[in-house]
């Protein structure tokens, strides 16, 4: 929806139970965006099935300002899918993805826009400092980045979240990637194009608490490793080889005992341990293969990635038959 001939920048904000921060976030976004004279903007809030007052607040923001649009998902689909739903509803020449909790300061966006106007297609926010995060979170985040870069085929920048600006061309490629395990950071690295970092200090959450429980974080880590590498499958093969090597040693030992000693009947213990050991390895391997097979199953079902409950502020209902389904 263009109101003038300036470039349009869309801001995508995934929101899950963010009633405590929305007013502050919106105020800061608007005052920052109005200061950038070279572009016009729209803000797309995705309500990811919030159970607090988030939907009402978003409705109010939308009613007060026609540059605001709201996509409400029919239930909680998770952060990465909420961002994808937002992306699908943008019409800007560039899109900025930002968390609702003000950990990603909106004041960095003008710099991102400037770099984009310099000709970069991806401008990602690089966290110089992370305030207000527990040591546990910092430590797990570090381990996660180390692991993912070790095993995955594409280089994923360290200390970079989803806070970034991406050009329309990149958005279109992302939306054409139909995979269900969406690890946007990895996907954006995979897309390529000219990418550059903008450094900022990651603030503490403005209010409310993290929506990523330990379980969600683990699931996110597993998703990103499995959808970006075959390393776990390879690991299974290596563990298998190691087991065979151990078994060969065991066999030689058994034969020596059998032919050169008189106490060989007592060997049941070694058989018992070998059976257990190999059984364990086979189960692990099956489990790893099962993870991939399960994902193939989820992909071939071709279910929509998310279901939209309601759209506010869009001219006509958006037609996205292959990725979302309208439920009225």
Stretch that binds Mg ion, among 93-101, 110-118, 162-170, 271-279 (CB under 5 A): 93-101
50 vs 103 by CB, closer to Mg ion: 103
What SS3 class is residue 119?
Answer: coil
Query: How many other C-beta atoms are found inside a 10 Å radius of the C-beta of residue 23?
Result: 12
- Residue 15 binding partner per list ligand UDP, Mg ion, none, with a CB distance cut-off of 5 to 8 Å that depends on partner kind: ligand UDP
Query: Which secondary-structure segment (H or E) carries 272?
Result: helix 268-300
Counting runs of H as helices and runs of E as strands, what totals does the chain give?
Answer: 10, 9
Per partner kind, with CB cut-offs from 5 to 8 A, the member of ligand UDP, Mg ion, none near residue 48 is ligand UDP
The span from the CA of 157 to the CA of 197, in Å, is 9
Query: Applying CB under 5 A, which of residues 18, 48, 101, 223 lies at the interface with Mg ion?
Result: 101
- In the complex with ligand UDP, the residue whose CB is nearer, 144 or 292, is 144
Strand 68-73 to 306-312 pairing = antiparallel
* Options 145-153, 177-185, 210-218, 270-278: segment touching ligand UDP (CB under 6 A): 210-218
Binding mask 72-111 for ligand UDP (x = CB under 6 A): ----x-xx--x----------------xxx-x--------
Q: What's the DSSP call for residue 203? A: P
Piece in contact with ligand UDP (CB under 6 A), picked from 71-79, 165-173, 235-243, 265-273 = 71-79
3-class SS at 61? helix
Q: How far is the CB of 163 from Mg ion (least distance, A)?
A: 10
**Closest separation in Å from C-beta 233 to ligand UDP:** 28
CB of residue 298 to ligand UDP, shortest distance in Å: 18
| Spatial CB neighbours of 165, under 8 Å, sequence gap ≥ 6 | 9, 94, 95, 96, 109, 112, 113, 115, 116, 122, 123, 124
Task: Annotate each residue in 102-141 with x if it binds Mg ion (CB under 5 A) or - if it does not, as one string.
Answer: -x--------------------------------------
**Exposed / middle / buried, residue 278 (Cβ in 10 Å: 0-12, 13-18, 19+):** middle
# residues near ligand UDP by CB under 6 A:
16
CB 210 within 8 A of CB 278: no
Q: What x/- string results for residues 12 through 31 when contact with ligand UDP is judged by CB under 6 A?
A: --xxx-x-------------
Distance CA 21, CA 136 (A): 24
On whether the CB atoms of residues 12 and 87 are closer than 8 A, the answer is yes
- The residue ranges that bind Mg ion (CB under 5 A) are 101, 103
- The residue ranges that bind ligand UDP (CB under 6 A) are 14-16, 18, 48, 76, 78-79, 82, 99-101, 103, 210-212
């Amino acid at each position: 929806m263009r109101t003038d001939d300036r470039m349009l920048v869309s801001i995508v904000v995934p929101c899950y139970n963010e009633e405590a921060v929305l007013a502050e976030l919106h105020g800061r976004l608007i005052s920052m965006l109005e200061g950038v004279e070279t572009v016009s903007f729209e803000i797309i809030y995705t309500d990811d099935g919030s159970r607090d007052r988030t939907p009402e607040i978003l409705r109010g923001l939308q009613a007060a300002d026609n540059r605001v649009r709201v996509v409400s998902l029919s239930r909680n689909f998770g952060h990465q899918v909420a961002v994808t739903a937002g992306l699908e509803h943008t019409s800007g020449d560039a899109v900025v993805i930002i968390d609702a909790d003000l950990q990603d300061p909106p004041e960095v966006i003008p710099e991102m826009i400037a770099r984009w106007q310099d000709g970069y297609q991806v401008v990602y926010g690089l966290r110089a400092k992370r305030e207000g995060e527990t040591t546990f979170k910092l430590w797990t985040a570090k381990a996660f980045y180390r692991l993912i870069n070790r095993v995955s085929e594409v280089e994923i920048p360290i200390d970079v979240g989803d806070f970034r600006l991406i050009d329309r061309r990149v958005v279109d490629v992302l939306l054409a990637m139909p995979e269900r395990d969406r690890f946007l950071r990895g996907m954006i690295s995979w897309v390529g194009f000219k990418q550059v970092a903008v450094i900022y200090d990651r603030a503490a959450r403005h209010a409310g608490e993290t929506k990523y429980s330990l379980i969600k974080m683990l699931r996110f880590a597993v998703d990103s490793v499995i959808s970006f590498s075959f390393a776990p499958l390879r690991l299974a093969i290596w563990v298998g080889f190691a087991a065979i090597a151990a078994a060969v040693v065991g066999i030689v030992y058994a034969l020596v005992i059998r032919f050169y000693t008189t106490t060989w009947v007592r060997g049941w213990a070694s058989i018992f341990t070998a059976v257990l050991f190999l059984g364990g390895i086979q189960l692990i391997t099956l489990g790893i293969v099962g993870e991939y097979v399960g994902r193939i199953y989820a992909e071939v079902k071709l279910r929509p990635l998310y279901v939209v409950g309601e759209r506010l502020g869009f001219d006509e209902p958006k037609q996205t038959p292959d990725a979302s389904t309208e439920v009225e």
